Amino acid sequence: MPDFVIGVDVSKRWLDVSLAGGRARRVEMEAGALAALAAEAQERGALVVFEATGAYDAPLREALEAADVAYARVNPAQARPAQARAFAQGCGILGKTDAVDARVLAEMGARLDLSPTEPLAPARRALRSLAVRRRQLVEMRKQELARRDGLGPSPMQASIERHIAWLDGEVAALDSDIAALTAADPEISACARLLRSAPGVGPVVAAALLADCPELGKLGRRQLAKIAGLAPLARDSGQYKGARAIRGGRPDLRARLYNAAFSACRCDPEFKALRTRLTAEGKPFKAIIITAAHKLLRRLNAMIKSGQPYAPQPSP
């Protein structure tokens, strides 16, 4: 456990900063103030705890990494209700302000054994940005396609078609950028080749896995399954034995693994045999694909750890 913990609530223009047990103070979101905060944390040997807020927390992360300060970037969607809010309610803190959130995050770091977040290498960070942007444009294209198909004859049809064509071009350009970045970085390129040797994993899925799951190959299979939201969680109480279900984790990562597993169950003998066996046992279709996705994630994790490409396993 760290000797000092600093909780930080991130906003667009400022940070609310609190030591565990102390009052919060406000720090402007500008380079000098962030560097001073990072220097203070470095001097104290502190762990800095904050919730992931996308682009808003990027300047804080960069300042902490430049000063070699350990930080824990808590995923606000890791559980429902949000992890930090659930912790606050468990401590009897029902109010919610930026200052309260900073104090709660500091208390979380002081009382829980939070693992420091591993900083991403610049190439991995760039790959994540490209993958996120591609995902955004693909979602926009899905929406426009749905509008076009439901519109019927209309003067708006031509406008929608032009937008879809533009989105197609932007997605293709991002695919080229992702391929170029992957080829240019030896570590990413080697990992991508390993991942693409597995069934159901093409260039898009491989890039998404490398962007969304930098922990791949570095954690145990149970930890990784929780990160992906593929771990079956118990719901038992007394004599009641509830059905195991998945929840939490990273939804985009889980969606990619689900799609890859669906494809693997159609084309790979090992996964086809798994699907056939579970179908014969009466398992629902989605549960079968989730089981296959869980298995695929375990195999991918082992491949990255060992540096060995996919090899089908003999049926038991």
Token pair 């279709």: residue:
285
Residues 58 and 156 in one domain: no
Alpha-carbon distances of 237 from 240, 247, 277, rounded to whole Å: 5, 18, 30
Whether residue 111 is predicted with pLDDT greater than 90 in this model: the reply is no
Residues 74 and 133 in one domain: no
| pLDDT tens digits, 261-296 | 999 999 999 999 999 999 999 999 999 999 999 999
| Backbone φ and ψ of 51, nearest 5° | -85, 145
**Structure token pair of residue 213:** 């799951």
Residues 177 and 275 in one domain: no
The answer to whether 67 touches 42, Cβ cutoff 8 Å, is yes
- State the pTM of this model: 0.76
| pLDDT tens digits, 2-48 | 678 999 999 888 999 988 666 778 989 999 999 999 999 999 889 99
Token pair 């629902």: residue:
284
Whether residue 79 is predicted with pLDDT greater than 60 in this model: the reply is no
Residues 96 and 128 in one domain: no
Domain boundary among 82, 111, 140: 111
* Structural domain count of the chain: 3
Asked whether residue 78 is domain-assigned, the answer is yes
| pLDDT tens digits, 131-189 | 999 999 999 999 999 999 888 777 889 999 999 999 999 999 999 999 999 999 999 99
d(C-alpha 37, C-alpha 152), whole Å: 57
Whether residue 75 is predicted with pLDDT greater than 80 in this model: the reply is no
> What is the domain extent for residue 262?
212-306
d(C-alpha 209, C-alpha 216), whole Å: 8
Could you tell me what percent of the chain has a pLDDT over 90?
52
In this prediction, residue 235 carries a pLDDT of 66
Asked whether residue 86 is domain-assigned, the answer is yes
**Structure token pair of residue 59:** 């300047």
The residue among 177, 167, 228, 169 whose CA lies nearest residue 204 is 177
